Amino acid sequence: MDVTITGGDLPLARSLGAALSGTGRVRLLVEQEGAGEPGGAERLAGDLRDPEFSARAVAGSEALVHLAPLLTNAAPLEALERAARGTYVLMQAAHAAGIRRVVTGSALALFDHLPASWRISEAWRPRPKAVPEELAHWLAELSTREFARGLLAAPVICLRLGTIADALPAGSAGRNWLHPEDALGAVRRALEFEPAPRGWQVYHITSGGPRLIHAARKPFAFAPQYGMLAEAAPGLRPSAFGSEPGVPEG
């Protein structure tokens, strides 16, 4: 399968590009040119808000993995502009190119103000806080969802990812934690499984816990490989898979 991946500055996107490089042509979209290409993926630098760039980015691809909304290292207004307008322009290009599957990345942080023990399902409406990161996730979701309900004649799978971390100490309650390899496995699963032929489809992705319900069932049948992760201890740093390059963590 030929795939275009946005958010190529994220380690998760680069790891996905490397993992898929043997299955077809992989095009990794980045904001700026840089050294090195992951595992044979084609590197393409530009701004998704530019219609010509977005059209060139998806030309000839069968699937689009939109991870750029997870990259929120820009200034607040810039991040919101990229999430909303960038997603809109990209989905217009995907429609024109006849993309056959769209996978978009979002975050379970949209529910972080609710108790961790609640069995929040994909039917719940996110209630983002008025902070740029959460609003960017939500704006990108809304834009993609409306294309799924209208123009796009293809399945659109939204993965709301938990907080990605390499390792957590045992002995405390879990809350939406996601091992980086499970994050990678979920995105690959979204490209491989047989979804409904078109429309908006949402899955909550964690490495275990009360919010991993719908995604574990067929047809998605996501099976995390790293078991239940525990609550973060003070000072724990998120995995590089879920952090922006050049931005201090902690």
- Which fold is adopted by the domain 3-242? Rossmann fold (3.40.50)
pLDDT (0 to 100) of residue 45 = 95
3-class secondary structure per residue, the chain: CCEEECCCCCHHHHHHHHHHCCCCCEEEEECCCCCCCHHHCEEEECCCCCHHHHHHHHCCCCEEEECHHHCCCCCHHHHHHHHHHHHHHHHHHHHHHCCCEEEEEEEHHHHCCCCCCCCCCCCCCCCCCCCHHHHHHHHHHHHHHHHHHCCCCCEEEEEEECEECCCCCCCCCCCCEECHHHHHHHHHHHHHCCCCCCEEEEEEECCCCCCCCHHHCCCCCCCCCCCCCCCCCCCCCCCHHHCCCCCCCC
Residue type, 224: P
Say how many CA atoms lie within 13 Å of 158 toward its Cβ. Answer: 24
pLDDT (0 to 100) of residue 182 = 95
pLDDT (0 to 100) of residue 228 = 54
Backbone angles phi, psi at 52, to 5 degrees: -65, -40
Best CA proximity match to 189, nearest among 61, 70, 63: 63
Please state the domain extents for the chain: 3-242
Best CA proximity match to 64, nearest among 108, 97, 37, 31: 97
Per-residue pLDDT of the chain (250 residues; tens, 9 = 90+): 999 999 998 999 999 999 998 889 999 999 877 645 555 789 999 999 999 999 999 999 999 999 999 987 888 899 999 999 999 999 999 999 999 999 999 999 999 888 877 888 999 999 899 999 999 999 999 999 999 999 899 999 999 999 888 766 554 455 688 999 999 999 999 999 999 999 999 999 998 877 888 999 999 999 999 865 444 444 444 444 543 333 322 2
